[in-house]
Structure 1
Amino acid sequence: MATYKKRGYKPKKEKVVEEVIEETFDESQSDVAKTFDGLDEVANKSEQWIEKNSKPLFIGLVGVAALILVYLAYNKFVSEPNEVNAANELAYPRSFFDQAEKAAGEKADSLYTLGLKGGADGKYGFLDIAKSFGGTKAGNLANYYAGITYLRQKDYKNAISYLSDFDSDDELLGPTALGAIGDAFADINQTKEALEYYEKAATKKSNEFTTPMFLFKAGQTAMKLGEYDKALNHFTAIKEKYATTQIGRDIDKYLNSAKYAK
């Protein structure tokens, strides 16, 4: 005998699935509600904290704003004018330095001294500028010129001191200052220190003027110290990277000297 399903009848399995879905939906709604409740609680606590600490926060913001204004004012009314004044002062001793570089003998020495110490009319020399405008670019440059001047005058101690106070990433001045310190050490027979600074000068900035020059000086100094492998490395670097420079064109004989000396 045939049997028929009654209208509206749902299998037990489908009913269970529906119940699970309803429970999951209810749980999801509950989780969402809890999340929003948690957010509300955090927001309320944040508001309470801000209300409680509004005065210290305001004072802190005012302090930060004041510091920014002080910094801007310092740059505008102190730092920038100081830079301009220092640059203007530096022009005077530099003129003597430039003249001395083209002169010789006592005349050159007198011009170097004027550049170093300034004029009798109260004009600053390199030493004054380095001391009075130490935080400026011109003050930094004054250290360089003072160091080179002392090197020319064979005052090696002061040359090393002032050149060590000079700091620059300029492609030429940076390596030249380090190389000049090497020259000063070489002239007082502190050969190891000279080699150290020649190597620093050679690696400070790569260019076809200072790099091969100080690699060559480093190589020659290493030869004096009997460090032939190091000398060979420096001469090889010149041959491989700077063969077209004046130093590079004659480097083979120095390379061979280092090879045969090993």
Structure 2
Amino acid sequence: MATYKKRGYKPKKEKVVEETIEETFDESQSTTAEVFNTLDETANKSEEWIEKNSKPLFYGLVGVAALILVFLAYTKFVSEPTEIEASNELAHPRALFDKAITAAGAEADSLYTLSIEGGVDGKYGFVDIADAYSGTKAGNLANYYAGVSYLNMKQYKKAVKYLDKFDSDDELLGPAALGAMGDAFADVNQLEDALDSYIKAANKKDNDFTSPLFLFKAGQTAMLLKNYSKAEELFTKIKEKYPTTTQGRDIEKYINSAKYAQ
């Protein structure tokens, strides 16, 4: 038997869908209205807070601006001129230091003394510069030169004093200062302190010059302390990380010496 649909008939599902859409739309409108109301309330509270605290905010901004201006003025008119002045003062003792490096005996000691103490034509020495310009790069560098000068004059305590004041992240100078401290401690037979300084020097900057050099000195110092396992560890590190360096080429025999001494 054939079936047919009555003309004008519409399924009830369409009506349900339409009602659901209308309900969802109404809910969306309600939610949106709530959000805007919340934003309005927040904005009103913010405006009220700003109005209430306008003077403190203004004075705070003025204070920050004043600090920035003071910092810029200090840098321009105090810090930069002082750096230049300190650098100029450092030139004279450095020239004496360079001459002392190539001299020997009493002449070298005399030049080192002049570079440290100054006094020629009223010129500052390293110690004066380190003290008078302590906050500058030149003043910091003066500590290094004073320390190395004292070390070369075999005045080890003074050498350690000034080298310890020096602080640098330079690839070579930073490790060199720590290594020089190690040399000073070693020369007065403070071997534990020497070992510590050499290890710090080796680890300060990882490069193929200072790292294997001070690892080697640390290993030799450990041998003198009869800390053979530590010496083997240090020598082995040179073999593994710096095999092509001057210290790395013959390091195997030092490793064996430390190993068989245990």
- Common fold, TM-score beyond 0.5? yes
Following superposition, the deviation at residue 22 of structure 1 comes to 1.5
Residue in structure 1 matched with residue 220 of structure 2 by the alignment: 220
Please give the residue correspondences for 1:75-154 in structure 2 after superposition, counting only pairs within 5 Å: 75-154=75-154
**Counterpart amino acid of 1:155?**
Q
Query: Equivalents in 1 of 2:157, 2:120: separation in Å?
Result: 26
Query: Equivalents in 2 of 1:247, 1:5: separation in Å?
Result: 104
Residue in structure 2 matched with residue 21 of structure 1 by the alignment: 21
Q: Which shifted more, 109-118 or 147-156?
A: 147-156
Following superposition, the deviation at residue 111 of structure 1 comes to 0.7
Query: Equivalents in 1 of 2:147, 2:4: separation in Å?
Result: 115
The TM-score normalised by the length of structure 1 is: 0.92
Following superposition, the deviation at residue 242 of structure 1 comes to 2.9
Residue in structure 2 matched with residue 259 of structure 1 by the alignment: 259
* Local SS of the residue matching 1:121: helix
Question: Would you say 1:191 and 2:195 are equivalent positions?
Answer: no
**Counterpart amino acid of 1:221?**
T
* Local SS of the residue matching 2:134: coil
Query: Equivalents in 2 of 1:250, 1:225: separation in Å?
Result: 22
Following superposition, the deviation at residue 141 of structure 1 comes to 0.3
Query: Equivalents in 1 of 2:33, 2:39: separation in Å?
Result: 10
Q: Give ranges in structure 1 of 5+ residues lacking alignment.
A: none
Following superposition, the deviation at residue 189 of structure 1 comes to 1.3
Query: Equivalents in 2 of 1:87, 1:129: separation in Å?
Result: 9
Q: Which shifted more, 92-101 or 245-254?
A: 245-254
Residue in structure 2 matched with residue 241 of structure 1 by the alignment: 241
Deviations 1:40-95 (A, max 9, x none): 11111111211221121111111111111111111111111111111000001111
Query: Equivalents in 1 of 2:117, 2:13: separation in Å?
Result: 104
Following superposition, the deviation at residue 256 of structure 1 comes to 2.0
Instruction: Please tell me the root mean square deviation across aligned C-alpha atoms, in Å.
Output: 1.9
Q: Give ranges in structure 2 of 5+ residues lacking alignment.
A: none
Query: Equivalents in 1 of 2:253, 2:260: separation in Å?
Result: 11
Q: Which shifted more, 233-242 or 208-217?
A: 233-242
Q: How many residues align?
A: 260
Following superposition, the deviation at residue 234 of structure 1 comes to 1.6
Percent identity reads 71
Question: Would you say 1:177 and 2:177 are equivalent positions?
Answer: yes
